[in-house]
């Protein structure tokens, strides 16, 4: 499956379906420090990764500084019950260590077992929000579009 194809399927994390990225979860993620919607050109960079099909070919994907933390935040809010997400939204400082522990538990770090699964799910969820009618448009200093290309 190509990265583009994976962005158009229902997101899962470690084989389990995620809760919808609802208003509650979006606003909680923002309060917890989600960076995705505040990206600028300086945050973006390209990297290559081997394709999963064994062809030896590489896919070039766009990444951004802060994607690891964003992945942990969004995976956490999408795996928790509503009541817990509501608490996190009201008192985000009290949940920073829970997000860190979640990231450690699921090995969401570069080279970690959960990194690719978490970032693929994150980008799938973000692609769905960008494709909606409420699409945020990010302008760089020169007036060009800085919205990440998924």
DSSP string, 45-57: EEEEEE-TTSS--
pLDDT band per the 50, 70, 90 thresholds, residue 146? low
Model pLDDT for residues 94-122, shown as the tens digit of each residue:
999 999 999 999 999 988 999 999 999 99
Between CA 25 and CA 90 the distance in angstroms is: 12
CA distances 20 to 89, 115, 145, Å, are 16, 20, 28
Model pLDDT for residues 87-96, shown as the tens digit of each residue:
999 999 999 9
C-beta of residue 28 within 8 angstroms of C-beta of residue 86: yes
C-beta of residue 98 within 8 angstroms of C-beta of residue 87: no
Whose CA is closest to 3, among 119, 142, 135, 138? 119
Between CA 26 and CA 61 the distance in angstroms is: 24
Helix, strand, coil share of the chain (percent; to 5): 45, 15, 40
Structure tokens at 110: 């570069």
């Amino acid at each position: 499956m190509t990265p583009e194809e994976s962005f158009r399927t229902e997101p899962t994390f470690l084989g389990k379906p995620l809760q919808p990225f609802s208003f509650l979860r979006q606003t909680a993620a923002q309060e917890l420090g989600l960076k995705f919607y505040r990206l600028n050109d300086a945050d973006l960079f390209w990297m290559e990764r081997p394709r999963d099909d064994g062809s030896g070919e590489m896919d070039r994907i766009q990444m951004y500084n802060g994607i690891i933390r964003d992945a942990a935040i969004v995976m956490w809010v999408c795996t928790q019950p509503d009541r817990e997400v509501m608490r996190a939204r009201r008192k985000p400082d009290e949940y920073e260590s829970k997000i860190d522990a979640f990231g450690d538990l699921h090995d969401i770090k570069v080279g970690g077992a959960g990194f690719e699964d978490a970032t693929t799910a994150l980008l799938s969820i973000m692609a769905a929000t960008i494709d909606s009618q409420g699409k945020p448009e990010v302008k760089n200093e020169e007036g060009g579009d800085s919205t990440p290309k998924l």
